[in-house]
């Protein structure tokens, strides 16, 4: 199986088991044969949204995110130079800078981006939902 990169919302929906999480996404996440990753970009996005008061948890993001990643067996994906430098090649379909960087990481690392966002599907990136 290909490695899967979680969209930020997918990570949060998995933790909360929200109905918006598709059955397929849940199955892919739970399949032990799949490698699941959370990007530093998602950690940055979550931390920023907490700072702006748009997200809140009982714990600070620097504790919450690593603890949940470890609990669910999700590997960490750092933001590397190659992915960052590929951003300029993306068409400007999607305005969210976090999603655009996740797209670059998925392309650079040959990953499938697990995301419900239809705008992401316009890019030359493998997606599933």
In the prediction, which pLDDT does 10 show? Answer: 98
Give pTM, 2 decimals: 0.95
DSSP state letters, the chain: ---EEE-HHHHHHHHHT-TTS-HHHHHHHH-TTS-EEEEHHHHHHHHHHHHTTS---SS-HHHHHHHHHHHHTPEEE---HHHHHTGGGS-S----HHHHHHHHHHHHHT-EEE---TTGGGSSS-EE-
Query: Per-residue pLDDT tens for 22-57?
Result: 999 999 999 999 999 999 999 999 999 999 999 999
Query: Per-residue pLDDT tens for 72-99?
Result: 999 999 999 999 999 999 999 989 999 9
Q: Is the pLDDT of residue 1 over 90?
A: no
Strand bridging mode 75-77 / 112-114: unpaired
Hey, what domains does the chain have and what are their CATH numbers? 4-128 (3.40.50.1010)
């Amino acid at each position: 199986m290909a490695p899967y990169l979680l969209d930020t919302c997918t990570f949060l929906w998995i933790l909360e088991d929200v109905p918006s999480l598709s059955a397929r996404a849940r199955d892919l996440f739970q399949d032990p044969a799949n490698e699941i990753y959370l990007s530093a970009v998602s950690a940055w996005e979550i931390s920023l949204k907490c700072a702006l008061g748009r997200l809140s948890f009982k714990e600070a993001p620097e504790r919450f995110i690593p603890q949940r990643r470890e609990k669910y067996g999700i590997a960490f994906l750092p933001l590397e130079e190659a992915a960052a430098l590929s951003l300029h090649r993306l068409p400007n379909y999607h305005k969210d800078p976090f999603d655009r960087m996740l797209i670059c990481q998925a392309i650079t690392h040959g990953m499938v981006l697990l995301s419900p966002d239809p705008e992401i599907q316009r890019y030359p990136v493998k997606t599933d939902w």
